[in-house]
């Protein structure tokens, strides 16, 4: 019997990989992509566990979950950093290059 490709395993991997570099877009994009990658990867892993040997591509699902977790953590940390900067420096000060040259 020929094995079918595991649904959403590749999508989970792609979104997980994309979540890592995009986590520096104010943290939001990487956070969203990482969460979606984790959800899709876990669904794919559960489907494979329910039907062992029927699907191929479990490694993609596992890698998608791992990279999704990394992207989610990095995105969350960067989002907290941006919130901290906005709270301490303020939006107007972040836009003014002279303030950044003078320092805090």
Distance between CA atoms of 17 and 1, rounded to whole angstroms? 32
pLDDT range class, residue 78, cuts 50, 70, 90 = very high
Structure tokens at 45: 């892993």
Q: What is the pLDDT of residues 10-46, one digit of tens each?
A: 999 999 999 999 988 877 899 999 999 999 999 999 9
Question: Would you call 76 exposed, middle or buried from its count of C-beta atoms within 10 A (0-12, 13-18, 19+)?
Answer: middle
């Amino acid at each position: 019997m020929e094995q079918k490709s595991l649904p959403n395993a590749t999508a989970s991997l792609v979104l997980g990989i994309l979540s890592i570099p995009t986590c520096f877009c104010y943290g939001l994009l990487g956070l969203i992509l990482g969460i979606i990658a984790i959800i899709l990867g876990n669904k794919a892993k559960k489907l494979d566990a329910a039907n062992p040997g029927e699907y191929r591509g479990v490694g993609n699902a596992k890698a998608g979950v791992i990279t999704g977790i990394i992207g989610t953590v990095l995105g969350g940390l960067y989002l907290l950093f941006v919130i901290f900067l906005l709270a301490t420096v303020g939006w107007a000060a972040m836009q003014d290059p002279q303030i950044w040259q003078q320092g805090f």
